[in-house]
Structure 1
Amino acid sequence: MIKTIAFYLPQFYTFPENDEWWGEGFTEWTNVRKAKPLFKGHQMPEIPAENNYYDLSKPEVMEWQSRLAKEYGVDGFCYYHYWFKDGKQLLEKPVENMLRNKKVDIPFCLCWANEAWARTWDGNENSILMPQEYDEDYQSLKKHFDYLLPFFKDSRYIKENNKPLFIIYKPYLINDISKLMNCWNELAINEGFAGIFWGLQHTDNFNHEDLIKRFDMAIEFEPSYTANHEMRLKNEIKRIGLNNKKINSEIKNILYKIVYKLTPLPLIRNYDETWEFINNRVPKFKSMVPGAFVSWDNTPRKNGKGIVYHRATPLKFRSYMVERYNRAINIYGSKYLFINAWNEWAEGAHLEPDQRNGYGYLEALKEAQKIMNIQK
């Protein structure tokens, strides 16, 4: 039976670093509340149902989320994990609270969001707030693993063949990924596991085939995966000759960014066209795992300079999810389907109920599963 896993953002509570960087009391809700419509038909701001601007430092919130998710067909959460040099962490409190609170009764896994934090929200992405540097000595690698071990050992943690599933957002940023993987596999075996079940979020503009082959799963993280590989940006760069195979990937990456910066923002994309790409794709590798997205509008997070996938509705989402489940089972042969996201409110990607659509997207997910006869 296929398992539906939703990515989960923990940035809905206050902590000192955000107070320092963005002002006292800052949470993800700060950007959500101040969003404004940027063009005709732009539906902003997003308002949670019953004005539920929740605080993830309160245990009852995560308990409510887990009950709601299971009721509507979400089989687990993939919580983002933020670990920096020398073991510095951010946004760790919700998942640590969850670990101690068995009333948050839903399977889960962790995804290491291994990027530096920059001031992208005010348009200054070159100003680094928290650099991401990688410790490669054994003791540092073990320190990270030891922190994760209680999560791995939890009965709710998602495992495959006695291997805890651990996902890395962008593993190609890590200089010696093989060293980390080999070290953690050995440490996991010493703790009674069969190793780590390694996953990656496949979002990059260019294929890293050798790297992908080292991982047990490569998740098509939507809509970024489709945008980077198949959509408008790729069509635009054809005009300036970037399809020339002689141009190496580093130069391509730089030129992609230049073209993106020169494109008028917000960039408006077609929700239906994107889903057409998604539901006609044939996976390139056996390890690829299908992704899906609810909707997308990250202009609140990007100070109005993001990307909007226009005209998303719960009815469309239900239809596209029926086909996505069909392809996940019959084309991918996958045990998992990852949805972006449970609560990415500042990116307009949330299954959680809102004032405009109510429980529409959750109901659409449940109905799609019913149509495909995959309800639990």
Structure 2
Amino acid sequence: MTADHYRRFLLTLTPLVTTAWLFLGPPGLLSACFAAESGLVVRSFLSDPPICRAGRPVGLTATIVNDGPADADVTATLTLPPGVRLVAPEAPAPVRISTTDGERQLRFIVEAQAGGPAEIVLDLATPGSPPVKQSLTIDFLPPFAAQKLDAVPPAKPVATDMLVGAIHCPLWEADRIDLWRGVLRHPERMPALGLYTQENPQVADWEAKWALEHGISFFVYCWYRSGEGGPVKTRFGRGLHDGYMKSQAAGKLKFAILWENQSEGIGGVADERDLFDNLLPYWIDNYFKHPGYLQVDGKPVLFIYETDRFIQDLGGPEPAARAIEKMRAACQAAGFKGLTLLGEDRGFVPAKLDRMAALGVDASFAYCWYVASNPTPDEAAVRQLELIRNTRDRGVLPQVVTASQGWSGWHDEGTVWSVPPRRFEQLLRDTKEIALASPKDQLGSRIFLLDNWNEWGEGHSIAPCREHGFGYLDAVRNVFSSAPQEHVDLLPEDVGLGPYDAPARAALARREELRPLLTRRLNEAGPHSGLVARWSFDEPAGTPVAFDISGNRLGGEVLGVERVPGIVGTAIDCRGGVVLVPDDPRLSVGNALTIDCWVKTDVAGQNDTWIVNRIQGGGLTPPRPRWGFRRSNTSWRRGC
């Protein structure tokens, strides 16, 4: 988006998925509408560490919002179960939450004597209003005497009766904090490592330790190219190159790559020459020859996300099939016994399996299983089994079975579901039975895939997290290994290591510093039925936020824009910057929106005329609702 030549009221929206609509207002104001609920609201009530251990103090933070018409004097009390004690404060004092500031954080410290689930209830009382309750259930790990180590303790792998792998999402890099938005929206997904940076070798060591100790022997890293036709450049490769390959675990936990070639013109190959001069040599030198790369019978294993795109890039089915044979020959020339290829298929299009078989891939696999209509856990598990059996019964191509834990989409769009650990364990037993019944000469009788290790943004992950702890990994261990169920799961804080989320912490600290300004209640717009938000941009120069003067606390962070004279009061001159309003359901483009503002440009005839644009939505390809003019004007113009 090139906003350099616009003097305008620019807002970047990052909504969730509910319905909102906008309202026409006086000149110079950007307006939006909703009907807010009033009263005292617990915005969040969480433990500081995602996974808590008994025998240690645990901090709890409750964020309380006052959306009522008057200041509130709030008294908070905790109701604790037997075996959990309140360490501090001994007697919480009442706090005042003003309507202007809008919110306060309350802090408590508790300690559990033994491991197991404990329900903690927060009660909020304020004179003249009904009480507010919020519960928090923490499944405490058993006590463990803390140590101080310099490195992650070596893994203690458990033997399994199949080669079990987990697909691995590599998006969590230090400069991509925006991709964690889904977790901030769903704090139950918070990883045990926090909002970590994947390029840290110790992060890879913890992941490998937890995987190996629960029966997972390899990761399938999603692999992204960033351009075609020339020397290979990658996207989201730091977790593999700087994390895994520089870790102690490199070679102990095996790895393979899943070629994410779905981005046309970027992620695939320009032609056959590009494949054999650039891409395949890069893979052979950097991955296939690595001592940790997954091989079966002396052949490196390569997963391909879009076989149809591969066929298109190579010029059709026959040239693509010939290219596959040449790839195998090139791997033999490099010292391997060939190349094992798997193509992704979820059973949507029956003819796709036929095309994959004609292409010459060795087996199919599913990245995940799509289950429509927000199914229950039982329905999601049963539907997966149906899809797996359908693929098997067609008999077109051998299948490597995948079991999916859940799905939500980056923006909670479409179908949303999850299979909790106990039900997931039964799903694993059922799918393992199907896999082991495959002919012994087929890859599917030897390899099993888990979806997904860490797809935090899309809501399918089995790595340790706040909601389920080590529950999914314990299910894998119980099904695929005969090792004793009783074992110790270590956390970084148990051995004096971590944290691994410094960049995210810094970004969130900045966000928390601005929150009192962003959520300040200013009702200068007057009463309007259904008004969501209104920004006048009349703050003094240098103010880091644009206040929402509707009274609905939807202020925006000012990033790289300049306040200049407008048709009424002050306008903003974007110069490549934005005013960024944090995620809020009331700004969601779920049904329809109306936007009203005045705008002008200093340069006539621009092609870029977008005024409102959704960016940084938390995902690689988020929905991007946009609003703008068909042509730019050098005089002030009002649009809605």
Residue type at the aligned position of 2:241: E
Does the 8 Å contact 1:99/1:151 carry over to 2? Answer: no
Q: Secondary structure at the match of 1:345?
A: coil
Instruction: Name the Cα RMSD after superposition.
Output: 2.5
Q: Secondary structure at the match of 1:319?
A: helix
Distance 1:196 1:68, change over 3 A: same
Q: How do residues 134-283 of structure 1 correspond to structure 2 at under 5 angstroms?
A: 134-149=269-284, 150-174=286-310, 175=312, 176=314, 177-203=320-346, 205-207=348-350, 208-213=352-357, 214-224=360-370, 227=371, 232=372, 267-280=373-386, 281-282=389-390, 283=392
Distance 1:184 1:27, change over 3 A: farther
Does the 8 Å contact 2:288/2:300 carry over to 1? Answer: yes
Does the 8 Å contact 1:162/1:194 carry over to 2? Answer: yes
How far apart are residue 193 of structure 1 and its match? 1.1
Q: Secondary structure at the match of 1:79?
A: strand
- 2:170 is aligned with 1:10: yes
Q: Which runs of 5+ in 1 are unaligned?
A: 16-24, 36-43, 118-129, 233-266
Q: Secondary structure at the match of 1:223?
A: coil
**After TM superposition, which residue ranges in structure 1, 4 or more long, deviate above 6 angstroms?**
none
Q: Secondary structure at the match of 1:349?
A: coil
- 2:234 is aligned with 1:89: yes
**Partners of 1:287 and 1:294 in 2: CA distance:** 23
Distance 1:278 1:148, change over 3 A: same
Higher relative contact order (CA 8 A, sep 6+): 2
Does the 8 Å contact 1:325/1:372 carry over to 2? Answer: no
Residue type at the aligned position of 1:210: D
Does the 8 Å contact 1:112/1:168 carry over to 2? Answer: yes
**Partners of 2:268 and 2:459 in 1: CA distance:** 30
- 2:256 is aligned with 1:109: yes
Residue type at the aligned position of 1:9: C
- 2:182 is aligned with 1:31: yes
* Corresponding residue number in structure 2 for 1:239: none
- 2:502 is aligned with 1:362: no
Residue type at the aligned position of 1:269: P
**Partners of 1:99 and 1:142 in 2: CA distance:** 24
**Partners of 1:168 and 1:218 in 2: CA distance:** 9
Residue type at the aligned position of 2:181: T
Does the 8 Å contact 1:79/1:95 carry over to 2? Answer: yes
* Corresponding residue number in structure 2 for 1:68: 210
Does the 8 Å contact 1:7/1:78 carry over to 2? Answer: yes
How far apart are residue 139 of structure 1 and its match? 4.7
Cα-to-partner distance string for 1:135-181 (whole Å, 9 max, x where unaligned): 21425433111211131012221112211000100111121332432
In terms of fraction of residues, the more strand-rich structure is 2
Distance 1:331 1:187, change over 3 A: closer
Distance 1:319 1:133, change over 3 A: closer
How far apart are residue 349 of structure 1 and its match? 1.2
Q: Secondary structure at the match of 2:416?
A: strand
With structure 2 as the length reference, what TM-score do the two structures score? 0.44
How far apart are residue 94 of structure 1 and its match? 1.5
Does the 8 Å contact 1:288/1:332 carry over to 2? Answer: no
* Corresponding residue number in structure 2 for 1:329: 436
How far apart are residue 293 of structure 1 and its match? 1.0
How far apart are residue 30 of structure 1 and its match? 2.8
Distance 1:131 1:188, change over 3 A: closer
Distance 1:317 1:140, change over 3 A: closer
Cα-to-partner distance string for 1:17-55 (whole Å, 9 max, x where unaligned): xxxxxxxx53532332134xxxxxxxx652223x62211
* Corresponding residue number in structure 2 for 1:20: none
* Corresponding residue number in structure 1 for 2:593: none
Q: Secondary structure at the match of 2:476?
A: helix
- Higher mean C-alpha deviation, range 339-348 or range 101-110: 101-110
Residue type at the aligned position of 2:323: L
Cα-to-partner distance string for 1:299-322 (whole Å, 9 max, x where unaligned): xx1x23232115x21110111111
**Partners of 1:99 and 1:65 in 2: CA distance:** 13
* Corresponding residue to 2:198 among 56, 59, 64: 56
**Partners of 1:327 and 1:187 in 2: CA distance:** 34
Does the 8 Å contact 1:28/1:345 carry over to 2? Answer: no
**Partners of 1:95 and 1:370 in 2: CA distance:** 27
In terms of fraction of residues, the more helix-rich structure is 1
Does the 8 Å contact 1:289/1:332 carry over to 2? Answer: no
With structure 1 as the length reference, what TM-score do the two structures score? 0.73
How far apart are residue 66 of structure 1 and its match? 0.5
Q: State the aligned residue count.
A: 299
Kindly, what percent of the aligned residue pairs are identical?
19
Does the 8 Å contact 1:170/1:201 carry over to 2? Answer: yes
Q: Secondary structure at the match of 2:181?
A: helix
Q: How do residues 38-49 of structure 1 correspond to structure 2 at under 5 angstroms?
A: 45-49=188-192
Residue type at the aligned position of 1:211: R
* Corresponding residue number in structure 1 for 2:34: none
How far apart are residue 106 of structure 1 and its match? 0.1
Distance 1:201 1:139, change over 3 A: closer
Residue type at the aligned position of 1:7: I
Q: Which runs of 5+ in 2 are unaligned?
A: 1-160, 315-319, 485-640
* Corresponding residue to 2:407 among 289, 296, 306: 296
* Corresponding residue number in structure 1 for 2:415: 307
